[in-house]
Amino acid sequence: MRLLSLFILALFLGSCSQHQPARRPVSHSSGSFLRESAERNIKLVAGEEARIDSIIKSNPAIKYFASKKGYWYYYEVRNDKDTLRPKRGDVAYFEYDVKDLDGNVIYSEVQLRPQVYLVDKENIMMGLRDGIKLMRKNERVTFLFPSHMAYGYHGDNKRIGHNVPLVCTVTLTDFKPEAKAAVPTAAQPEEPLTTPSE
């Protein structure tokens, strides 16, 4: 009996000491796809920034500013009298157009019509979302957006293809606190700035 107990105990301990190697999942990534994707994005951004840099250097009379978000801009009309800028929850009234880096008009101000935008509470192009908050009333600013600050890889599913850097000239006509603003709904597009009219 004692011999049988020792045999069973030895068998049990022997089976516990044999470790099976962990099985890998059926599909696993080596990381090469992510690495290659990151490298492509780095090259894309560098190429776009080089094009924008050449535009800036070819216009030495214009004073360009670099934003913290990775785009550039200059003032066509500047308002140094006012200090207030749109902030989250304000209603901004503005007009703008969209061009490519060669100056070809993609959407004109007429096609885009005046915009009413609830600051930081509506989904618009990332660059405009940030740029509008840098402006004062009655200023006209031209922004040079790399594609990642514009419509990115997807484009706008109309005239703007994937990975297209854009030039947007924006006129901020007014802005008001949300509670005091009359926001017309009938004349506004359902998705401002993302689906401009043809």
Q: Which two tokens stand for residue 74?
A: 């200059």
CATH 3.40.50.620 holds for 62-198: no
Q: What is the pLDDT of residue 119?
A: 97
**Length, in residues, of the chain:** 198
Q: Give residue limits of the domains in the chain.
A: 62-198
Determine contact, residues 177/183, Cβ cutoff 8 Å. no
pTM: 0.76
Q: What is the pLDDT of residue 116?
A: 96
Q: What is the pLDDT of residue 9?
A: 54
The type of residue at 36 is E
Q: What is the pLDDT of residue 191?
A: 41
Average pLDDT per 10 consecutive residues for the chain, totaling 198 residues = 55 54 56 85 93 97 97 98 96 98 97 96 96 98 97 94 97 90 47 44
